[in-house]
């Protein structure tokens, strides 16, 4: 681990180094003793040698607001804004967050915690964190790493352990369970004795449901990290899967197989929507009647449901596709068609789609079809057909689109000639 590097501040960014120096200078202007700590994931990641910009600060001795405005006055060109964020509730603690905005747009949270009845406030804060590896502190004033709960040992040995009994730490806090599973999968942690059982117990005894936007962020981080397969497996084994994605009749073996398959096909930072679509697609196979609204909720209101639908439609024509089939498909799923290829369950279909189909799309110049303007605008359509707006327009647009695909070099005059010669207005 890089304890010495962190204490010597070797790998800090230019802005982090300047901010820490300003904090040291500011601390000397107060009569009382002031302690300022970097906390949580930023410390953990720096100790592991992982770049991190998610900097959270804990202030002790003065209010976080007082420190924030002192820093702003010291250099208003560096700290361009200070404002109150929402009150943060973490189990027994409640505190007001102050955000400072640096000139490069970086947001940094400053927090106080006055509610902990403990002689050492930081040690008390450490006890209330989810995992020991997230309860390591960097004392900015003294340039010293501080550990009160064995986090350094657990980080070195890759152990997921809670500072107190998991039954206490995760009681009635589902999102903390999901976070713990995310960290375990991302950092390849082994669970301490009783830890996994405690997480499983918490997942089935807590009441209520997860806040969608918070659970979405946790799932997104987990899916874009290096081991979403293990995250899915842990959600299933702890009974958290149904809490996160809904209480449906899931085929967990199918989900595991599909997720493993997709992760071999897709890079880390592209997986989020595609894995959500994979889960929806699996559910659709075993629950034919599930509504689009429920599928959308499972996909956290992303376009994952459309990716799933695009994959299902592709499967119906892939092995004998025509130019028109592909064109209609791309037009319908303009932002989803490419991603849908990754979730094709049949490996032969995936190989066919990712090679021959993609090559065909490029050769026929269909990639940007969704952005292509119609040959005729609305008024030109009305004048050509000689009718007012009505249901006929949908069929007309279909005919015009099909003609443009079959005649890629034709212009609107060619289409008008075709339309008149074939008396298409009678058909419409």
Instruction: Give yes or no for residue 377 having a pLDDT over 50.
Output: yes
In a domain, 301, yes or no: no
The stretch 383-391 carries a mean pLDDT of 89
Instruction: Give yes or no for residue 173 having a pLDDT over 90.
Output: no
Do 12 and 150 fall within a single domain?
yes
In a domain, 144, yes or no: yes
Do 127 and 144 fall within a single domain?
yes
Report whether 7 contacts 147 (CB < 8 A). Answer: no
pLDDT of residue 270: 86
| Residues spanned by the domain of 241 | 166-296
Enter the tokens of residue 49: 């040698």
Do 367 and 385 fall within a single domain?
no
Instruction: Give yes or no for residue 94 having a pLDDT over 90.
Output: no
* Domain limit, last residue, from 236, 263, 296: 296
Q: What is the pTM of this model?
A: 0.86
* CATH number assigned to the domain comprising residue 34: 3.30.460.10
Query: 167-170: long-range contacts (C-beta < 8 A, 24 or more apart)?
Result: 167/198, 167/201, 167/202, 169/91, 169/128, 169/130, 169/198, 170/130, 170/198, 170/199, 170/202
pLDDT of residue 89: 46
Do 329 and 392 fall within a single domain?
no
Do 365 and 382 fall within a single domain?
no
Report whether 189 contacts 134 (CB < 8 A). Answer: no
The stretch 129-145 carries a mean pLDDT of 97
Do 174 and 119 fall within a single domain?
no
Q: What percent of the chain has pLDDT over 90?
A: 72
> For residue range 15-46, what is the model confidence (pLDDT) as tens digits?
999 999 999 999 999 988 899 999 999 999 99
Instruction: Give yes or no for residue 290 having a pLDDT over 60.
Output: yes
- Helix (H) and strand (E) counts in the chain: 24, 9
Say how many domains are in the chain. Answer: 4
The half-sphere exposure of 169 on its side-chain side, counting CA atoms within 13 A, is 26
How large is the greatest C-alpha to C-alpha distance in the chain, in angstroms?
92
The stretch 132-153 carries a mean pLDDT of 97
- Can you give the three-state secondary structure of 174-203, one letter per residue? HHHHHHHHHHHHHCCCEECCCHHHHHHHHH
- Identify the band that residue 302 occupies on the pLDDT scale cut at 50, 70 and 90: confident
């Amino acid at each position: 681990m890089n304890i010495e590097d962190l204490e010597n501040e070797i790998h800090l960014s230019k802005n982090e180094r300047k901010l820490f120096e300003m904090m040291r200078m500011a601390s000397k202007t107060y009569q009382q003793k002031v302690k300022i700590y970097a906390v949580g994931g930023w410390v953990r990641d720096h100790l592991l040698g992982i770049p991190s910009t998610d900097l959270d600060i804990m202030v002790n001795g003065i209010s976080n607001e007082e420190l924030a405005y002192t820093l702003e006055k010291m250099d208003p060109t560096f700290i361009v804004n200070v404002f109150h964020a929402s009150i943060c509730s973490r189990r027994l603690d409640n505190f007001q967050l102050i955000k400072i905005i640096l000139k490069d747009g970086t947001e940094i949270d400053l927090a106080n915690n006055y509610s902990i009845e403990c002689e050492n406030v930081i040690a008390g804060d450490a006890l209330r964190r989810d995992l020991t590896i997230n309860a390591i502190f960097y004392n900015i004033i003294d340039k010293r790493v501080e550990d009160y709960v064995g986090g350094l040992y657990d980080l070195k040995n890759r152990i997921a352990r809670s500072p107190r009994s998991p039954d206490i730490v995760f009681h009635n806090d589902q999102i903390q369970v999901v976070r713990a599973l995310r960290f375990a999968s991302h950092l390849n942690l082994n669970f301490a004795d009783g830890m996994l059982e405690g997480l499983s117990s918490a997942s089935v005894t807590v009441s209520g449901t997860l806040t969608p936007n918070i659970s979405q962020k946790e799932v997104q981080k987990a899916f874009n990290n290096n081991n979403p397969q293990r995250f899915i497996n842990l959600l299933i084994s702890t009974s958290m899967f149904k809490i996160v994605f809904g209480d449906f009749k899931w085929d967990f073996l199918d989900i595991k197989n599909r997720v493993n398959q997709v992760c071999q096909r897709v890079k880390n930072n592209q997986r989020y929507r595609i894995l959500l679509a994979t889960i929806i697609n699996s559910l659709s196979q075993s629950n034919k009647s599930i509504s689009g609204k429920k599928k959308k909720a499972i996909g956290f209101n992303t376009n994952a449901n459309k990716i799933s639908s695009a994959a299902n439609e592709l499967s119906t024509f892939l092995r004998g596709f025509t130019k028109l089939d592909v064109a209609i498909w791309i037009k319908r799923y303009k932002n989803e068609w490419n991603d849908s290829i990754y979730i094709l369950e049949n490996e032969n279909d995936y190989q066919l789609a990712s090679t021959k189909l993609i090559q065909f799309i490029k050769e026929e110049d269909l990639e940007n079809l969704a952005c292509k303007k119609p040959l005729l605008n609305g008024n030109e359509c009305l004048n050509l057909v000689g009718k007012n707006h009505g249901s006929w327009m949908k069929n007309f647009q279909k005919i015009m689109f099909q003609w443009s695909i079959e005649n890629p070099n034709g212009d609107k005059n060619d289409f008008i000639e075709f339309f008149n010669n074939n008396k298409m207005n009678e058909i419409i």
